[in-house]
Structure 1
Amino acid sequence: MTHINVLDPGASPLDYYGFELRRLREAAGLTQKQLGDILNYTGSLVGQIETARKIPTPEFSERADAALGSDGLLSRLVDLVLRSQLPAWFQQVAELEARAIEMCTFHTHLMHGLLQTKAYARAVLGALDRTNLDDRTAVRLARQRIFDKAEPLVLWAVISEAALYQEMGDRDTMRGQLAQLLSFEDNPRLNIQILPFTAGAHAGLQGSFDIFRFASDPTIVYTEGYGTGHPTANPDTVKDCALRYDHLRAAALSLKDSAELIRRVMEDRYGEQVA
């Protein structure tokens, strides 16, 4: 167990956050319990975060900043903390998501992490491993904070129709997930297209992939295997995947027709059942 008196702020972003939280709390003359009462959390949770045994959430950080008058310090740190908790091989991808001005993604069997609801993310992450599931889910959802930026990236997501039917969690989970997709319908920066079964053979048969475009850096293509990620800026690969993506978008339903299909599947497959 980490002891608060020997917590090294340079050991990790999580340790640094805990060190700063303790410093700010003590400067305010508050005990852990007193701060917890103010924030509507337990003093035990405050202590666990201070000793780097619990991952802070954005909500906790915003409340703590307000209570401790820390000018948004903890809210700025929490993004770094959460990103550091991602699997090592995926941390670079989260950085690409945060820096990109445009992202094009194709998925064959599930929703992209940036589009997932909490319940859907829990179902996906807990499929084989349920340890620390709450923290791992929070870390995944924190990636979606990139959409809160003053000028967030433009996301194009082509999703196979199969993903609408691949039931992650229960019916309520899927209904909530499809409702989330529909909530983006009027957002020009979040564009969802469904690749229907009727498309037949298509340009994405080799699997899912992402394309990241930046204001000045070279475009990067990202593919994923079991426990590994493969980003590349190889011009030939980028050119090939960009062409594949253009063909996928052309084969997919329009934004309007995609929303209609999502709505129909949500009601017909995951709607209220009459006994």
Structure 2
Amino acid sequence: MTTSIHCDGFRPDRLMIISPPFLFAAQPQQNDAMTTADAGNTVVPDGDVCTSGMLECEPGNGAYPVSHNLGWHGGPHLRAPEEGGHPLLVRAIADGRVVYMRKTDTTHKPTLQYRNVRTDDGCVVIRHDTEIGEGENAKITYYSVYLHMQQVMPTLAVGKKVYRKDVVGTPGQIYGQYPQIHFEIVCDEANLKKMIGRAPGPLGNTPARTDAVYGDIWFFIPRGAKLFASEPHPFRDDDSAPAIATLYPQPSLVPAGT
């Protein structure tokens, strides 16, 4: 049995759960019938971009927030796990609405063939609106970005509602490395201030907010567990155990079904 606990004033229907962009079959999934497009024309041996003299070799290689050549890199490169010999599909991390999408270019133009290795440019950006507490200050908007996908789900369109775990596309090539995506979670400064309770920058003596709740709080209660209206007395394991000390009144067992 599981249960969720919501603080007074919160709207459970607006709290948002976030999932990773790749999910194994052991977890509930949707739209699994999507097929993978042609892998393209990779020429990097064994997916090792360093053999092509690229600057994305370690310690960079898609590092966040700074690449190997000391350039700003807004998100990490994620390699899709494989299951059954095939890379996992890319999925929406939370409920939201598509605000931007771009199907991958299948031509061999220079911007996609840097140093003769393929980079896919399929992209989807999803807007997420949620609440992390009570009141207007708790309503926030953030975006998730899925880039370098080989194929974007053909049913997607700008303005379309998507749900957590919906398939948004397939992983693609980044400088010939397959299967990968570039992934980001971003927001503007106003929403960041709502999240952390202060202006961005050095913390100094300004405390961060302490009243934020990110998602639900879940508890697992084994079948047959005894429930008490209040914490049992420290000198007594539960109501069935004899009292070791009787200085304070003992809590009574909560009737079954309450």
Q: Which has the higher strand share?
A: 2
TM-score relative to the length of structure 2:
0.22
Q: Mark the structure with the bigger radius of gyration.
A: 2
Q: Which has the higher contact order (CA 8 A, sep 6+)?
A: 2
Q: Which has the higher helix share?
A: 1
TM-score relative to the length of structure 1:
0.21
